[in-house]
Amino acid sequence: MTGRPLTILLAIILAVLIVALVSHHRVIPVYPGEYPVIAPPMHCDIEYHDDRVELALREDPLLGRVIVYAHAEGGVYLGILKPVYDRRVVVRRGDYADFRAVIKGSSVEAAEFLKKMDRYEPKIDMFDSIVAAHDADRAFGVQKCLYPLCTRCVEACKSVIQGDNIPITLEVKPDGHIMPVFRRGKCPRCGRCFVNCPTGSILPPDKGRK
């Protein structure tokens, strides 16, 4: 091979190596602030009636929708998406759970959607589930995080951090609700988790601290 083609070949190889190196070490944008802040859980007061439970929220939700949840036997977590009017949420007899998940300790092992296009399968009455949880001293209540109907924060974080060890996870707290948990780890403060959270469960530092 003469001098010029060899030079071109070497230049091409060098260019390929540089591209491979740059794409391996992706530049992750760094948010010009601090780390994300997890919003405190939502609390409510509950009234029981023969055909419904009414939950009076102690704060206005950002989205106007919340999850009402109840734990059932065998580590099963049931939830329904509900609208909020004047800080009140009503679960009536005949309102069926939208999803159920299996809980082990603080981990959500699996989530299954029960609401299909035209039916619920199986039909699990949320009113009965809340009353049963109350009677059996199991956890129930309201949460602002819409997991598993929403997983935006985790997906956004995965678009920045490679591998499974990402700083944001969704976990079950001791009082039974699911909420995001943040561990600094390799978080580059890109801000995508709180930018993508529709419910204000994850906040930017300036809004998360009062």
Contacts to ligand SF4 by CB under 6 A: 36, 145-147, 150-153, 156-157, 160-161, 167-168, 170, 180, 187-193, 196-199, 201-202
Nearest approach, Cβ of residue 179 and ligand SF4 (Å): 7
Nearest approach, Cβ of residue 67 and ligand SF4 (Å): 9
- For residue 195, the 8-state DSSP code is H
Nearest approach, Cβ of residue 113 and ligand SF4 (Å): 15
- For residue 69, the 8-state DSSP code is E
Nearer to ligand SF4, 71 or 144 (CB): 144
Q: How far apart are CA 172 and CA 178, in angstroms?
A: 4
CB atoms within 10 A of CB 172: 22
Q: How far apart are CA 39 and CA 113, in angstroms?
A: 26
Phi and psi dihedrals of 107, rounded to 5? -100, 145
Nearer to ligand SF4, 4 or 25 (CB): 25
Nearer to ligand SF4, 141 or 180 (CB): 180
Q: How far apart are CA 26 and CA 29, in angstroms?
A: 9
Nearer to ligand SF4, 52 or 158 (CB): 158
